[in-house]
Amino acid sequence: MHDLQTLALRYSQIYLRFHRLLDRQMAAQGASLARTKMLHFIANNAPVRAADVAEWFNLAPRTVTQAVDTMERDGLVVRVPDPADRRAKRLDITEHGEHVLRQTEPLRRSLISQAFGLLTDAEIAQFARILDKMEQAIEEPAAEA
């Protein structure tokens, strides 16, 4: 039986190793994991408010603004008018941004296959159930003693 502290540490280490490996592989292709994750979020939720991006990634609004400025400069995203508020802007992905995502997707899929490919269908289903339980536990307020 594993103690919970050791298990939590191993989970964190594997997660971080997974992301470092993916980031290195993407960097070799001229991409960035952080930028690609943000681009995926924008593509899947477009047109999206920068505040929604900041909330999803738990980032300061200024950090998101700087990242979006860079992605806009690089032609990956564009700011579009918000139909509900003339003063506000929303973010949308450009054709070039979609192209960048298509280029990095094989790298992401390959690493996911490497990490999870050794699991059986039953183990994957069990792992998904475990993750669901963990997610539910951290979303619910802790019971007061």
Domains of the chain, residue spans:
23-138
Task: Tell which residue, 55, 52, 63, has the closest CA to residue 91.
Answer: 52
Q: What is the pLDDT of residue 28?
A: 81
CA distance 40 to 35: 9
Q: What is the pLDDT of residue 142?
A: 56
| pLDDT per position as a tens digit, 68-113 | 999 999 999 999 999 888 889 999 999 999 998 998 888 888 888 9
CA distance 61 to 109: 30
Length of the chain as a residue count: 145
- H or E stretch including 36? helix 33-45
CA distance 22 to 27: 8
Task: Tell which residue, 38, 110, 44, has the closest CA to residue 76.
Answer: 38
Class of domain 23-138: mainly alpha
Lowest-confidence region among 61-65, 85-89, 112-116, 136-140: 136-140
Q: Give SS3 for 120.
A: coil
**Core vs surface per residue 94-118: b (16+ CB within 10 A) or e:** beebeebbeebeebbeebeeeeeee
pLDDT range class, residue 144, cuts 50, 70, 90: very low
Rg (CA), the chain: 18
pLDDT at 24 over 60: yes
Q: What is the pLDDT of residue 145?
A: 41
